[in-house]
């Protein structure tokens, strides 16, 4: 049990830091146990929160760094609506550096989804996948590639020591030890950052179910001191233009990073769907998504590799739609900034997303610069 052998105590939701705000007007909706009633209630709650959030203004600065692509089963990515007979497609990891003003007026920097590819490759799913696709998942290639911290320094001029927080939309295939405590005698990548994570993600790591094991690295937080972790219970509004909205389903502690980008509008970083049109399948360029929308009256198509709660994930995607603006990618497609969007590749020849969100590069980075 990882938490018994580490310095991390049994996870519990601590009192929020003074510069964070809880969002009970969203989270209270999850108390409704009847899925149909809950869906419409969460939609209405999301729309109400969106009006308040949008009026508060944008974050100070936002930058995206594209990371390595990775193969992923088509059947998982488009649950019940696979658009090709190909077994795999390619998704591309990406991380986001956000500078914002917290509720005390201080400039803060948060690094979102800084996945270390060579560490993620240790997860059971990728270990199995390597047998099929060794050239794509070459361990040597992963070891040679620059990680998020190095790329932030090289491309953006950011000093990783000035990053205040790190967060992930969920902890699938993540190993946080290199970032928070270091490894092999080397110092941590983010020596002053604290991990913001939902209590339920930590509880999952305490006792993994067999269906969860392929997607989690059980030792992900071994040795990470408790003071380096901010454990939250649900949704938190971090500051001007930035909130972590609890969106359970894909994992129990999944949260979506909702941000207001100057000149672009309100977006959500999420892996609940593989592309923006997963949130508006009737307008998709993929026939299977359009047919799924018509056949089942579905308004979203889940990324369904680990359906810890499929109805909750569906509702979470509707909640994301209700909060974000629309049209950045075209038409009425919601502004979902997929944390690992699927891209055209020879693995799934002939299919690709019709709608993509252009990289967001807005505002200024000051607080985190070297």
Residue 15 has a pLDDT of 65
Residue 131 has a pLDDT of 75
Residue 140 has a pLDDT of 66
The answer as to whether 62 is a domain residue is yes
Q: In the predicted model, what is the mean pLDDT of residues 50-65? A: 97
Residue 50 has a pLDDT of 98
> Which residues span the domain enclosing 225?
22-81+88-346
The answer as to whether 167 is a domain residue is yes
**Rounded Cα–Cα distance for residues 238 and 194 (Å):** 13
Q: In the predicted model, what is the mean pLDDT of residues 24-28? A: 97
| Structure-token match 């994570």, residue found | 197
Q: Which tokens sit at 69?
A: 């692509």
Instruction: For residue 106, give the DSSP letter.
Output: -
The answer as to whether 12 is a domain residue is no
Distances (CA, A) of 97 to 2, 24, 160: 29, 27, 11
The answer as to whether 41 is a domain residue is yes
The answer as to whether 234 is a domain residue is yes
10 Å CB burial of residue 366 (0-12, 13-18, 19+) is exposed
Q: What is the pLDDT of residues 85-139, one digit of tens each?
A: 999 999 999 999 999 999 999 999 999 999 999 999 899 998 888 777 766 556 6
Q: What is the pLDDT of residues 141-197, one digit of tens each?
A: 677 789 999 999 999 999 999 999 999 999 999 999 999 999 999 999 999 999 999
**Rounded Cα–Cα distance for residues 303 and 155 (Å):** 31
Q: Mean pLDDT of all residues in the chain?
A: 92
The answer as to whether 281 is a domain residue is yes
**Rounded Cα–Cα distance for residues 98 and 261 (Å):** 10
Residue 273 burial (CB count, 10 A): 28
Give the three-state DSSP class for 229: strand
**First-residue to last-residue Cα distance in the chain:** 39
Residue 135 has a pLDDT of 61
Residue 145 has a pLDDT of 82
For residue 12, is pLDDT > 80?
A: no
Q: What is the pTM of this model?
A: 0.94
Residue 202 burial (CB count, 10 A): 24
Q: In the predicted model, what is the mean pLDDT of residues 355-369? A: 95
The answer as to whether 308 is a domain residue is yes
For residue 259, is pLDDT > 80?
A: yes
Q: In the predicted model, what is the mean pLDDT of residues 322-347? A: 96
**Rounded Cα–Cα distance for residues 352 and 143 (Å):** 28
For residue 6, is pLDDT > 80?
A: no
Residue 1 has a pLDDT of 33
Do the beta carbons of residue 277 and residue 286 sit within 8 Å? yes
Q: Which tokens sit at 275?
A: 């592309």
For residue 310, is pLDDT > 90?
A: yes
When divided into structural domains, the chain yields a total of 1
Q: State the CATH number of the domain containing residue 242.
A: 3.60.15.10
**Rounded Cα–Cα distance for residues 65 and 50 (Å):** 27
For residue 16, is pLDDT > 90?
A: no
Q: In the predicted model, what is the mean pLDDT of residues 218-225? A: 96
The answer as to whether 48 is a domain residue is yes
Q: Concatenated DSSP letters for 145-159?
A: S--HHHHHHHHH-B-
């Amino acid at each position: 049990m990882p938490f018994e052998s580490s310095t991390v105590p049994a996870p519990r939701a601590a009192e929020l830091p003074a510069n964070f705000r809880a969002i009970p007007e969203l989270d209270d909706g999850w108390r409704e146990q009847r899925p149909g009633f809950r869906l419409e209630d969460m939609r209405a709650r999301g729309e109400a929160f969106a009006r308040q959030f949008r009026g508060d203004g944008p974050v100070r600065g936002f930058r995206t760094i594209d990371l390595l692509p990775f193969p992923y089963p088509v059947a998982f990515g488009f649950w019940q609506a696979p658009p090709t007979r190909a077994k795999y497609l390619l998704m591309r990891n990406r991380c986001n550096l956000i500078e914002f003003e917290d509720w005390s007026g201080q400039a803060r920097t948060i690094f979102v989804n800084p996945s270390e590819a060579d560490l993620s490759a240790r997860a059971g799913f990728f270990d199995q996948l390597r047998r099929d696709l060794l050239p794509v998942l070459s361990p040597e290639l992963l070891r040679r590639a620059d990680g998020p911290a190095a790329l932030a320094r090289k491309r953006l001029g950011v000093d990783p020591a000035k990053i205040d927080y790190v967060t992930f939309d969920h902890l699938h295939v993540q190993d946080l030890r290199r970032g928070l405590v270091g490894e092999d005698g080397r110092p941590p990548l983010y020596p002053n950052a604290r991990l913001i994570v939902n209590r339920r993600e930590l509880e999952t790591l305490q006792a993994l179910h067999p269906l969860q094991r392929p997607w989690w690295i059980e030792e992900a937080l071994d040795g990470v001191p408790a003071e380096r972790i901010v454990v939250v219970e649900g949704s938190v509004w971090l500051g001007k233009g930035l909130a972590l909205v609890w969106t359970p389903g894909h994992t129990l502690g999944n949260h979506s990073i909702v941000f207001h980008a100057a000149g672009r509008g309100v977006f959500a970083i999420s892996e609940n769907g593989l592309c923006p049109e997963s949130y508006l399948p009737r307008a998709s360029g993929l026939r299977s998504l359009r047919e799924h929308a018509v056949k089942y009256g579905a308004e979203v198509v889940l990324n369904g590799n680990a359906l810890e709660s499929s109805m909750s994930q569906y509702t979470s995607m509707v909640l994301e739609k209700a909060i974000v603006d629309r049209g950045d990618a075209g038409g009425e497609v919601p502004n979902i900034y997929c944390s690992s969007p699927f891209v055209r590749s020879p693995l799934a020849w002939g299919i690709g997303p019709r709608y993509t969100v252009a990289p967001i590069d807005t505002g200024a980075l000051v607080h985190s610069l070297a």
